[in-house]
Amino acid sequence: MRPKDRVFKKIVILTGAGISAESGIPTFRDPGGLWEKYRLEDVATPEGFRRQPEMVHAFYNQRRRDLLKVKPNPAHYALARLEREYPGQVLVVTQNVDDLHERAGTKNILHMHGELLKVRCEECGHVFREEGDVSVKTPCPKCGRPGGLRPHVVWFGELPFHLPEIEMALKQADLFVAIGTSGTVYPAAGFVVIARRSGAYCVELNLEPSAVAEYFHEHRYGPASKIVPLFVEELLKNAKDF
Ligand code: APR
């Protein structure tokens, strides 16, 4: 059933790097993306961190600095408005490690790949907010030991966060929307299959068809800052008219 025919009870929205692209944060696999400049094996795996911790810290220190210079775009604000104004429940599940959803006002959010502005101590498990640079010499603010800090980000080969909660939400969703993701990295790329199997209406909002486009009922292509506010406007209007 298309959005215009109903008010949805539970909306799950999966976002990827494409929703933050127009804020000035590079995506991973578009031309000029991060994985063109860096080998993901070096900067986004536990092995790479063990091999060259200082180089990995430098990579995340730079991404942290860049993040503090940019701001949310209309797509982030539209999703925060949807959460505030829509009569049904809205959950954002993001693959992104930036905090642009939160800065736009989204409250109900799960960061399945962690958060750039958080650091974790491997010695004592303490997770804390960190906007500045981190190095192998930085002591943990809790246990005081140096050398154990790492970005609180999920690397390839590691288990994403919140998967049981996400799976439950996908099974209860009646609307699933994927925004700005290439559909190439699992388990996120498989979320549409779970949602569709549970009866959700599935919509893909992206710049171009993702690798899992075939599993969606509806597709809208264009820049997120344009198509996401329009889609949210339509959902809110349909809910009012209902
Ligand atoms: N508006 C909408 N979509 C866009 C825009 C835009 N302005 N710009 C790019 N896109 C789309 C691209 O077409 C592409 O499909 O966003 C998607 C970005 O794909 P990726 O770079 O692969 O990013 P993502 O899908 O989030 O990657 C998933 O891979 O490397 C890991 O952990 C990393 O979370 C990341 C995961």
pLDDT band at 225 (very low <50, low <70, confident <90, very high): very high
Tell me the average pLDDT across 102-130. 98
Distance CA 16, CA 237 (A): 26
Shortest-distance Cα residue to atom 35 of ligand 1: 95
Domains of the chain: 1-23+72-113+160-241 (3.40.50.1220), 26-69+115-153 (3.30.1600.10)
- How confident is the model at residue 62, as a pLDDT? 95
Tell me the average pLDDT across 19-31. 95
Half-sphere exposure of 35 (CA within 13 A, CB side): 10
Catalytic residues: 113
Tell me the average pLDDT across 130-144. 96
> Any binding-site annotation on 15?
no
* Ligand 1 mutation pick, 29, 152, 210, max ligand atoms within 8 A of CB: 29
Strands 114-121 and 149-153: antiparallel
Beta strand residue intervals within 130-200, DSSP E = 149-153, 175-179
> Any binding-site annotation on 172?
no
Residue 131 clears pLDDT 60, i.e. is over it: yes
Residue 188 clears pLDDT 90, i.e. is over it: yes
CA–centroid distance, 28 to ligand 1, in Å, is: 6
The response to whether residue 181 sits with its C-beta less than 6 Å from ligand 1 reads: yes
Q: How far is CA 143 from CA 123, 125, 138, 217, in A?
A: 8, 9, 12, 51
CA–centroid distance, 144 to ligand 1, in Å, is: 37
The whole-chain average pLDDT of the chain stands at 96
> Any binding-site annotation on 140?
yes
Shortest-distance Cα residue to atom 10 of ligand 1: 18
| Type and span of the H or E element at 220 | strand 218-221
The response to whether residue 113 sits with its C-beta less than 6 Å from ligand 1 reads: yes
For residue range 75-92, list pLDDT tens digits in order.
999 999 999 999 999 999
For residue range 43-61, list pLDDT tens digits in order.
999 999 999 999 999 999 9
Report residue 209 as tokens: 């068809």
Distance CA 136, CA 149 (A): 7
CA–centroid distance, 189 to ligand 1, in Å, is: 11
Strands 127-129 and 149-153: unpaired
CA–centroid distance, 4 to ligand 1, in Å, is: 28
The response to whether residue 114 sits with its C-beta less than 6 Å from ligand 1 reads: no
Please count the other Cβ atoms lying within 10 Å of the Cβ belonging to residue 183.
23
Q: Atom of ligand 1 at shortest distance to CA of 29?
A: 21
Tell me the average pLDDT across 6-11. 92
The response to whether residue 112 sits with its C-beta less than 6 Å from ligand 1 reads: no
Q: Atom of ligand 1 at shortest distance to CA of 28?
A: 21
Q: Atom of ligand 1 at shortest distance to CA of 183?
A: 25
